[in-house]
Amino acid sequence: ETGVTQSPTHLIKTRGQQVTLRCSSQSGHNTVSWYQQALGQGPQFIFQYYREEENGRGNFPPRFSGLQFPNYSSELNVNALELDDSALYLCASRTGQNEKLFFGSGTQLSVL
Amino acid sequence: AQKVTQAQTEISVVEKEDVTLDCVYETRDTTYYLFWYKQPPSGELVFLIRRNSFDEQNEISGRYSWNFQKSTSSFNFTITASQVVDSAVYFCALSENTSGTYKYIFGTGTRLKVLA
């Protein structure tokens, strides 16, 4: 148990739709990041949030956006879904002083 | 650029055999961390070990052991006397900290199948 929870567990959307994924960080963790894991691949960094602001982004287009709330929970929003967005989306949290990321169990998104 | 290579895509062993998973990394940083995670079919990433770049002491923990060699940029992971429950995908990861953004660079994973 990492203390990081994600919802929903599974989600099916159609191309062009929008989706919101949610993450509740472990208590005391002020930094949250999101990763996309395509089938058969390792997780890829999407972006990081610290103090409710995005402060780092990987190679993902602007239609991937996020929010971090004062209680350190977070959302990942994806607009104009494409078939290639089908993947496992993982949320991870940490404190500023800890090099270890704590991962949630992920949301499996299928885009049809 | 930072990079992690796991050349073994899939390994199959018979229960009780020893198995070593290879990981080679590239980094410009002098301070970094290396990790191994296990991902069972349920999908969550289970933390196994971390090593910082200044700690080359190898370790044994139960059936697991790790071999970190900076000279060859390798961080290999060995399971002794493998069990069916060890079947999973194993990821090696390298930390990167740039301008306050902290992230992991993952390898593509090695699928381990332990046959009864």
Cross-strand partners of B35: B50, B93
Chain A CB contacts of B37 under 8 Å are 103
Q: Do A31 and B102 touch (CB under 8 A)?
A: yes
8 A C-beta contact, residue A64 and residue A78? yes
Chain A CB contacts of B102 under 8 Å are 31, 33, 48, 56, 94, 99
* Vertex A6: Cα angle to A79 and B96 (nearest 5): 80
Residue A60 at interface with chain B, using a CB cutoff of 8 Å:
no
8 A C-beta contact, residue B94 and residue B37? no
Nearest CA in chain B to A31: B102
pLDDT tens for A24-38 read: 988 788 899 999 999
Separation between Cα atoms, residue A102 and residue A33, nearest integer Å: 10
Quick one: which of B79, B89, B105, B84 has its CA closest to B42?
Answer: B89
Separation between Cα atoms, residue A13 and residue A16, nearest integer Å: 9
pLDDT of residue B57 exceeding 80, the answer is no
pLDDT tens for A85-95 read: 999 999 999 88
pLDDT tens for A35-55 read: 999 999 999 999 999 989 998
Chain A CB contacts of B109 under 8 Å are 40-42
pLDDT of residue A76 exceeding 70, the answer is yes
